[in-house]
Amino acid sequence: MASMRYLAIGNSICPATVEVSDKSGCVLDGFSFRSSNFTRKRNVRDLRVMSVLTHRLPEIDVAPPSSREKQSDHGNWNHVAWTSVRQERWEGELAVEGEIPLWLSGTYLRNGPGLWHIGDYNFRHLFDGYATLVKLYFENGRLIAGHRQIESEAYKAAKKNKKLCYREFSEVPKPDNFLSYVGELANLFSGASLTDNANTGVVKLGDGRVVCLTETQKGSIVIDPDTLDTLGKFEYSDTLGGLIHSAHPIVTDTEFLTLLPDLVIPGYLVVRMEPGTNERKVIGRVDCRGGPAAGWVHSFPVTEHYVIVPEMPLRYCARNLLKAEPTPLYKFEWHPDSKAFMHVMCKASGKIVASVEVPLYVTFHFINAYEEEDEDGRVTAIIADCCEHNADAAILEKLRLQNLRSFNGEDVLPDARVGRFIIPFDGSSHGKLEAALDPNEHGRGMDMCSINPKYLGKKYRYAYACGAHRPCNFPNTITKLDLFGKKAKNWYEEGAVPSEPFFVPRPGATEEDDGVVISMISQKNGEGYALLLDGSSFKEIARAKFPYGLPYGLHGCWVPKK
């Protein structure tokens, strides 16, 4: 349970320490700091608390490892990155070591799986956990943090019934009998049994609404960015139908673009939604050029004038989806004979202006794309960058929680690179795929990326991602990529697992890397903290310790102060 002790400062109350005890009676000092290599500029006694949650909250039990996991465990089971969140919700002001820039004013939200068990049953994959939303609210150099479970129907039903009730990424509810199994299959085809567990991303729409997302369309949930309350489902008002969409839409102040895979007649609808509406309108359709089904589209890039539609040989598989136990590639199949393609669609007309075969690839996340022009201003090619896993779909299996928890020091993380697609506009049938810089610059690990949002769809120089300090079984560095200089800078701390580094530009900045990079760090010793790096120098400027460590999270967004 969590308890707080307070210091009186003038007419305000300030927390001296936050204590979190687990069932063994172990106490973690939430505001004590280990020695570090930077100067302490702020002290907890210098802070006045604006809003600290003081009532006691129910603690969520962290399920013990199963016998199978115990046998393979080598001491990493308790790394906080792979354990369930201790409480359903918490909020409080954090003491800051270093100095937060005064211009940083707003809320960073991070979504991700935070609860990886129900009762005594442990989920099996990183992508299965019930969504936990975390916030970091910055104002006048101060930081208030909080987290809360997203109250999806899947989460509420599991909490009430003490068992899995919806199909997650790799998990299927266990039927009570044959008739219930038949009924569950019927619900699968209708989409009723698919999860609405919005544990992947969070976006701020142009009209100000904040929506948490996953790959099922029903898993679009509106939240309050200040309180983290679940406000309700984001209901699409159109009749496009379908069960899934890209987990990562392209969202700006003026538009919302996403892809809707067609699992019946393999292809993709490219759709747009205007701010203030819930209606998606079709820009155009891309038919798949290979394979028995559409390729997985977790994300996709855009340029100023074009939408780039990737067609991977890692394709959706209805047969695997029907199975009660996960296959090695879960709801996908690897079809190298179907080849790989990149399609380019004009945003204005919906016409396909290029469709090229490219070398086989596997990617979850695209970084950015832009248009190459000749001296007369005519577009000659599209450049599209992604975190590419060397055409090796084994990365999906490596993200099983058992693998993440059983790290024994062996170097088992599959290699990855910044994959650069070159899509020509000269009518060629083939495009290129190459490394944008030497993968050894970032430890041959690469995922979870962000850029300066002002450079979305434009030629850019810098990106921020998670790389590798080997040996490792998961990306464990924060990396700044210089795609012009072909170099990388890497932040690393022993035993730390950083979440996606998120770049926030300084208002009025003229340099692309003028801003801060935010990440949340899970530590092997059970602790964790929020970290701020200077976007330009890539040096640490501040950190703030959480009262207890938070599990690993996925993607985030920035909500400026109104």
State how far the Cα of 307 lies from the Cα of 300, in Å rounded to an integer: 8
CB 99 within 8 Å of CB 142: no
By three-state DSSP, how is residue 318 classified? helix
Would you kindly state where each structural domain of the chain is located, as residue ranges? 80-560
Residue 320's pLDDT is: 76
Fold of 80-560: Methylamine Dehydrogenase; Chain H (2.130.10)
- 3-state SS, 368-404, equals EEEEEECCCCCEEEEEEEEEECCCCCCHHHHCEHHHH
Q: Tell me which amino acid residue 53 is.
A: L
H or E stretch at 159 = helix 153-161
Residue by residue, pLDDT tens for the chain (562 residues) are 343 333 333 333 333 333 333 333 333 333 232 333 333 344 433 333 333 333 333 344 444 444 334 433 444 567 999 999 988 999 999 999 999 999 999 999 999 999 999 988 899 999 999 999 999 999 999 999 999 999 999 999 999 999 999 989 988 887 666 555 555 555 555 567 789 999 999 999 999 999 999 999 999 999 999 999 999 999 999 999 889 999 999 999 999 999 999 999 999 999 999 999 999 999 999 999 999 999 999 999 999 999 999 999 999 998 777 666 777 788 899 999 999 999 999 999 999 999 999 999 999 999 999 999 999 999 999 999 999 999 999 999 999 999 999 998 999 999 999 999 999 999 999 999 999 999 999 999 999 999 999 999 999 999 999 999 999 999 999 999 999 999 999 999 999 999 999 999 999 999 999 999 999 999 999 999 999 999 999 999 999 999 999 999 999 999 999 8
- What b/e sequence results for 370-384 when a residue is b if at least 16 CB atoms lie within 10 Å of its CB, and e otherwise? bbbeeeeeebebbbb
Cα 267 to chain centroid distance, Å, stands at 25
Q: Count of CB atoms within 10 A of residue 512's CB?
A: 18
CB-based contact 315:290 (threshold 8 Å): no
The answer to whether 106 and 515 are in contact (CB under 8 A) is: no
What tokens were used for 492?
């690393």
DSSP E strands, 208-339: 210-213, 221-223, 230-233, 250-251, 256-262, 267-273, 280-287, 306-311, 314-316, 332-334
Spell out the residues 6+ positions from residue 247 whose beta carbon is closer than 8 angstroms to its own.
Answer: 200, 201, 213, 214, 215, 298, 299
Q: Are 477 and 466 in contact (CB under 8 A)?
A: yes
- 442-466 confidence digits (pLDDT tens): 999 999 999 999 999 999 999 999 9
The residues, any chain, with a CB within 8 Å of residue 262's CB and separated by 6 or more, are: 242, 268, 269, 285, 294
Locus of tokens 């927390």 = 15
Binding residues, as ranges, are 248, 298, 365, 555
pLDDT digits (tens, 9 = 90+) for 501-522: 999 999 999 999 999 999 999 9
Cα of first residue to Cα of last residue in the chain, in angstroms, is: 35
**Residue 267 in tokens:** 């292809």
With contact defined as beta carbons under 8 Å apart, do 558 and 502 qualify?
A: yes
Peptide bond into 313 cis (omega under 30): no
Paired with 24 in beta bridges are none
Residues 6+ apart with CB under 8 A from 173: 163, 164, 165, 166, 167, 184, 193
- State pLDDT tens for residues 33-75: 233 333 334 443 333 333 333 333 334 444 444 433 443 344 4
Instruction: Extract the tokens encoding 257.
Output: 């673009």
C-alpha 181/C-alpha 286 separation (Å) is: 35
d(CA 17, CA 10): 18
pTM equals 0.87
Taking the C-alpha atoms of residue 72 and residue 403, their distance in angstroms, rounded to an integer, is 9
Can you spell out the DSSP letters for 48-83? --S----S--PBPPPPPPPHHHHHH--S-TT-GGGS
H or E element in which residue 150 lies: none
Binding site, annotated residues for Fe cation: 248, 298, 365, 555
